């Protein structure tokens, strides 16, 4: 048949999460000649493309890697295949910690103890236990996997506090810390795990009251460190790793714009790493409008971090952190799934190229955990006694979007639809197109989808996510 903007006048594959269905295949739809347009029709234009996607995924913390390591060989391989192979969940992005975060088996850096400005004690042996073997397996399962690395704290001896708990880095140690991070990048590359992007600090604007590994970076210190130390060090060592700034909340968008106005800093920055715990989602668009060449990256959070986000088409309670499990789980699962799908749509419509959840795996008590956030849940839970695996609502939202927005895909224009059904559309490198629909209301919605001279119609169930895909 003659090709159209829809890809062809053929069938449309349908996958849905609604009620007891979890990413379940549905009867296919058909493209038909377009009839009269309904008031809330969703109109697609694959010729109008926006950001290129890196993908959706989560963080392989020391805690998550440890939990996966506890499985026997066959169970471990099966779970890793599920997480990373494109035929299953197929995570396309993963975040790792440089040293320990609060979700770890212990607090550690790669050079603890007395001051060691020559970094003679530097060692990544802790990561060789759990993290690196799984990253190598993940890259084998998904060669397109994109890796981000973020530090929670420099070694204690580099800091004014003398500990990894809170405080800030001494400016006199900016140079040695840049060399420390470069040694990390080289060590991982030597292990067959090159890092694609790095942030100089997880959450620059808080030391978490010294309750966990953390480090505050004043704006001027972030600018000086990147422009005079980290950026030049990465360039001099001919590493391909990109630098993302901030790695913190939307409310700091003004700081981002102000920092990017510094040419010496700007030239080393590929984009901005964002968290959703304060501020509104349209902060990413504000920065994009000011600096269109600087990409947006969602690097931590949960699909349940849903509140009254500007531009998101969602109304509800204040945003929930990924560690607010009791409050989050008080919301019925199907509502969390639908709102999560809408949040993901809002995120990509505000220019993010990726969406990284926090811990991929924890146990039933939110462990291993050395920090203050005791009500945490992983995307998956491995029971510490039975080793039974359960999947959260975030898992099913993630699956819809890992299949919709693979690395190298591009978001394309989707307009209309009203406030009940959030949507985002992507075209893959092979020409496959995917539209994700999230109904955030308690009523089924009749939806008309139009592209070029064709249309299709479907009912999107209450509190559901639906993927439509075609070639």
Relative to beta strand 389-391, strand 410-416 is: unpaired
Q: Is residue 144 within 8 Å of 407, Cβ to Cβ? A: yes
- For residue 219, tell me if it sits in a domain: yes
**Is 1 within a domain?**
no
pLDDT at 307 over 60: no
Mean pLDDT (whole number) for 132-143:
98
Q: For the segment 349-370, what is each residue's pLDDT rounded down to a tens digit?
A: 999 999 999 999 999 999 999 9
Mean confidence (pLDDT) of the chain: 94
Weakest mean pLDDT among 235-239, 286-290, 321-325, 450-454: 321-325
Instruction: Based on the fold, state whether residues 70 and 34 are members of the same structural domain.
Output: no
Domain boundary among 386, 407, 428: 407
- What CA dihedral angle connects 388, 69, 142 and 270, to 10 degrees? 110
30 and 150 both lie in a single domain: no
State the pLDDT at residue 3.
Answer: 40
pLDDT tens digits for 383-429? 999 999 999 999 999 999 999 999 999 999 999 999 999 999 999 99
437 and 375 in a common domain:
no
Q: What is the CATH number of the domain that holds 451?
A: 2.60.40.1180
Q: Determine the pLDDT at residue 354.
A: 99
Mean pLDDT check: name the lowest of 165-174, 206-215, 270-279, 300-309.
300-309
Tell me: the pLDDT tens digits for 235-271?
999 999 999 999 999 999 999 999 999 999 999 999 9
Q: pLDDT over 90 for what percent of the chain?
A: 92
Answer yes or no: do 58 and 154 share one domain: yes
Q: Using N-to-C axis directions, what is the helix angle for 131-141 and 62-69, rounded to 10°?
A: 80
pLDDT over 90 at 324, yes or no: no
Cα distance between residue 231 and residue 246, in whole Å: 15
Pick from 359, 378, 407: which residue ends a domain? 407
**Does residue 431 share a domain with residue 381?**
no
User: Rounded CA gap, 107 and 8, in Å?
Assistant: 55
Q: Is 433 exposed, middle or buried (0-12, 13-18, 19+ CB in 10 A)?
A: buried
Q: Which residues constitute the domain of residue 27?
A: 11-50+412-470
User: In this predicted structure, what is the pLDDT of residue 9?
Assistant: 59
Q: Is residue 209 part of a domain?
A: yes
To which H or E segment does residue 288 belong? helix 283-290
In this structure, are residues 175 and 222 in contact, taking their beta carbons and an 8 Å threshold? no
Q: How many CA atoms lie within 13 A of 163 on its CB side?
A: 9
Higher pLDDT, residue 99 or 313: 99
Q: Using N-to-C axis directions, what is the helix angle for 131-141 and 73-84, rounded to 10°?
A: 50
Looking at the structure, tell me whether residues 45 and 192 fall in a common domain: no
DSSP state of 58: E
DSSP state of 229: I
Tell me the CB-side half-sphere exposure of residue 277, using CA atoms within 13 A. 17
| pLDDT of residue 315 exceeding 70 | no
Q: Is the dihedral of CA 362, 405, 424, 20 positive or negative?
A: negative
Q: What pLDDT does residue 323 have?
A: 57
Shared domain for 423 and 278, answered yes or no, is no
* Total domains, the chain: 2
Does 434 lie in the same domain as 362?
A: no
Residue pair 274/251 in contact (Cβ under 8 Å)? The answer is no
Give the pLDDT band of residue 142 (cuts 50, 70, 90): very high
Q: Is residue 448 part of a domain?
A: yes
Residues 16 and 129 reside in one and the same domain: no
Reported in sequence order, the residue ranges of 330-427 that DSSP labels E, i.e. its strands, are: 352-359, 361-362, 380-382, 389-391, 410-416, 421-427
Q: State the average pLDDT over residues 151-157.
A: 99
For residue 5, tell me if it sits in a domain.
Answer: no
Element (H, E) at 459: strand 454-460
Residue 465 lies in a domain: yes
Average pLDDT of 228-239? 99
Shared-domain flag, residues 232 and 318: yes
H helices within 390-448, ranges in order? 393-404
For residue 253, give the CATH number of its domain.
3.20.20.80
Residue 330's pLDDT band, with cuts at 50, 70 and 90, is confident
168 plus 226 within the same structural domain: yes
Q: Locate 174 and state its tokens.
A: 């900016």
- Contact, 176 vs 227, CB < 8 A? no
- How confident is residue 321, by pLDDT bands cut at 50, 70 and 90? low
- Classify residue 167 by its DSSP letter: -
Note the pLDDT of residue 316: 38
- Peptide bond connecting 368 to the previous residue in cis, omega within 30 degrees of 0: yes
Radius of gyration of the chain (CA): 22
Over residues 103-112, the mean pLDDT reads 98
pLDDT tens per residue across span 5-38: 554 558 999 999 999 999 999 999 999 999 999 9
- How much of the chain, in percent, has pLDDT values that exceed 70? 93
Write out the two tokens for 171: 């400016």
Query: What pLDDT was estimated at residue 317?
Result: 35
Domain boundary among 370, 388, 407: 407
Sequence-distant (6+) residues with CB within 8 A of 3 are none
In a domain, 188, yes or no: yes
Burial profile 374-397: b = 16 or more Cβ within 10 angstroms, e = fewer = eebbbbbbbeeeeeebebbbbbbb
pLDDT of residue 322: 52
Instruction: Establish if 69 belongs to a structural domain.
Output: yes
DSSP state of 175: H
Tell me: do 392 and 448 sit in the same domain: no
The per-residue DSSP string of 195-219 comes to -SEEES-SSTT--GGGSSB--B--H
How far is the C-alpha of 467 from the C-alpha of 458, rounded, in Å? 12
């Amino acid at each position: 048949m003659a090709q159209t903007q829809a890809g062809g006048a053929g069938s449309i594959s349908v996958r849905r999460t609604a009620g007891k269905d979890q990413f379940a295949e549905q009867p296919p739809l058909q493209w038909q000649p377009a009839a009269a347009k309904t008031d809330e029709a969703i109109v697609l234009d694959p010729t109008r493309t926006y950001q290129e996607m890196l993908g959706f995924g989560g963080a392989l913390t020391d805690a998550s890697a440890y939990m996966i390591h506890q499985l026997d060989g066959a169970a471990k391989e099966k779970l890793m295949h599920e997480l990373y192979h494109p035929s299953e969940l197929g995570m396309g992005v993963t975040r790792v910690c440089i040293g320990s975060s609060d979700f770890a088996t212990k607090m550690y850096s790669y050079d603890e103890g007395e001051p060691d400005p020559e970094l003679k004690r530097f060692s990544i042996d802790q990561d060789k236990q759990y993290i690196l073997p799984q990253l190598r397996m993940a890259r084998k399962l998904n060669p397109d996997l994109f890796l981000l690395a973020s530090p929670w704290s420099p070694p204690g001896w580099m800091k004014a506090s003398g500990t990894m708990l809170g405080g800030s880095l001494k400016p006199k140690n900016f140079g040695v810390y840049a060399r420390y991070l470069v040694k990390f990048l080289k060590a991982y590359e030597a292990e067959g795990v090159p890092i694609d992007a790095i942030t100089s600090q997880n959450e620059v604007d808080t030391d978490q009251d010294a309750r966990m590994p953390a480090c505050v970076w004043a704006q001027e210190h972030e600018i000086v460190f990147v422009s005079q130390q980290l950026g030049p060090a990465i360039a001099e060592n001919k590493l391909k790793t990109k630098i993302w700034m901030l790695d913190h909340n939307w409310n700091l968008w003004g700081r981002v714009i102000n920092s990017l106005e510094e040419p010496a800093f700007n030239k080393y920055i590929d984009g901005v790493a964002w968290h959703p715990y304060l501020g509104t989602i349209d902060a990413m668009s504000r920065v994009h409008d000011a600096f269109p060449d600087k990409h947006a990256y969602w690097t931590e959070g949960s699909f349940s971090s849903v509140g009254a986000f500007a531009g998101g088409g969602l109304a509800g309670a204040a945003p929930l952190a990924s560690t607010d499990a009791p409050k989050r789980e008080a919301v019925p699962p199907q509502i969390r799934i639908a709102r999560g799908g809408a949040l993901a749509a809002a995120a990509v419509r505000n220019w993010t190229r990726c969406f990284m959840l926090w811990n991929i795996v924890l146990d039933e008590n939110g462990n291993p955990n050395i920090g203050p956030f005791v009500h945490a849940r992983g995307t998956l839970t491995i029971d510490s006694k039975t080793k039974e695996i359960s999947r959260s609502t975030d898992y099913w939202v993630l699956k819809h979007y890992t299949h919709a927005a693979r690395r190298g895909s591009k978001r394309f224009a989707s307009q209309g639809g009203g406030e009940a059904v959030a949507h985002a559309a992507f075209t893959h490198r092979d020409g496959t197109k995917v539209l994700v629909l999230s109904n955030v209301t308690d009523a089924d919605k009749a939806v008309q989808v139009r592209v070029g001279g064709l249309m299709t119609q479907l009912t999107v169930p209450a509190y559901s996510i639906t993927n439509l895909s075609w070639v």
